[in-house]
């Protein structure tokens, strides 16, 4: 039997977090554009920053698009193309495993750097510390769900429950009952993932949306060699 808590988390909570993401992002870009920055600490420590940042960014991009494809592509489409459920999951685990491992290694290095390097730690805000830990936790949960919770629940197929519920969010008719039977690890992963979206505009993560469009149309900068006498 469904509980009111289930109704809240799978009907109300997603829109609270997504609403915070969209409206918070608009407000920050319109009223506080000067605060949108990655606030690099490269001058304080560079080696671990470069290694961790490259691994994390490549991995999180792969993970993001993997999640988008996993949620937006219905099972009926892959069935129509003759792609079996086993083959789909095999490719999903390989792709997700590579992306997840890269992201996990990257965020672990970045989190370790932020807490172990005294200069980086002292110049970090509380938001920076929370974001790093939160990302580390959610990536671990995602890997655990894919490679531990999934095999332990062979009868569970997220494409016939969780993915359908996620698509229903886009047309404002989520059936929260689809999430009742989802394994707990997946539920925690979804709750934490939505929380990341909810707090996204109020952290340094928002710099990911600040694409440097001005570089496309700005005038060229001409550098001239200083003449020697």
Annotated binding site for heme b: 57, 67, 189, 207
3-state secondary structure of 178: helix
**Inter-residue contact 114 to 129 (CB < 8 Å):** yes
**CA separation, residue 15 to residues 8, 11, 29, 113, 190 (Å):** 10, 7, 21, 34, 13
**Inter-residue contact 147 to 97 (CB < 8 Å):** yes
Of 72, 105, 76, 78, the C-alpha closest to 91 is 78
Backbone Cα Rg of the chain? 21
Structure tokens at 149: 């919770």
Q: Is 146 exposed, middle or buried (0-12, 13-18, 19+ CB in 10 A)?
A: buried
For the annotated binding site, the residues are 57, 67, 189, 207
**Inter-residue contact 139 to 103 (CB < 8 Å):** yes
């Amino acid at each position: 039997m469904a509980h009111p808590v289930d109704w809240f988390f799978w009907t109300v909570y997603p829109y609270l977090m997504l609403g915070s993401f969209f409206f918070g992002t608009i407000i920050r870009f319109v009223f506080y554009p000067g605060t949108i920055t990655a606030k690099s600490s490269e001058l304080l420590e560079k080696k671990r920053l470069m290694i961790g940042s490259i691994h994390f960014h490549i991995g999180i991009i792969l993970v993001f698009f993997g999640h988008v494809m996993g949620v937006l592509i219905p099972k009926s489409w892959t069935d129509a193309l003759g792609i079996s459920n086993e083959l789909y999951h095999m490719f999903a685990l390989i792709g997700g495993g590579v992306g997840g491992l890269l992201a996990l290694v990257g965020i672990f290095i970045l989190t370790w750097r932020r807490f172990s390097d005294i200069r980086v730690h002292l110049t970090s805000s509380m938001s920076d510390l929370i974001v790093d830990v939160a990302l580390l936790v959610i990536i671990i949960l995602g890997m655990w769900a894919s490679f531990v919770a999934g095999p332990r629940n062979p009868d569970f197929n997220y494409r016939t429950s969780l993915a359908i519920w996620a698509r229903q969010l886009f047309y404002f008719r989520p059936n929260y009952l689809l999430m009742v039977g989802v394994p707990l690890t997946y539920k925690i992963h979804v709750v934490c993932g939505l929380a990341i979206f909810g707090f996204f505009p109020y952290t340094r993560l928002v710099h990911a949306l600040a694409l440097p469009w001005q570089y496309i149309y700005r005038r060229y900068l001409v550098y001239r060699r200083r003449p020697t006498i």
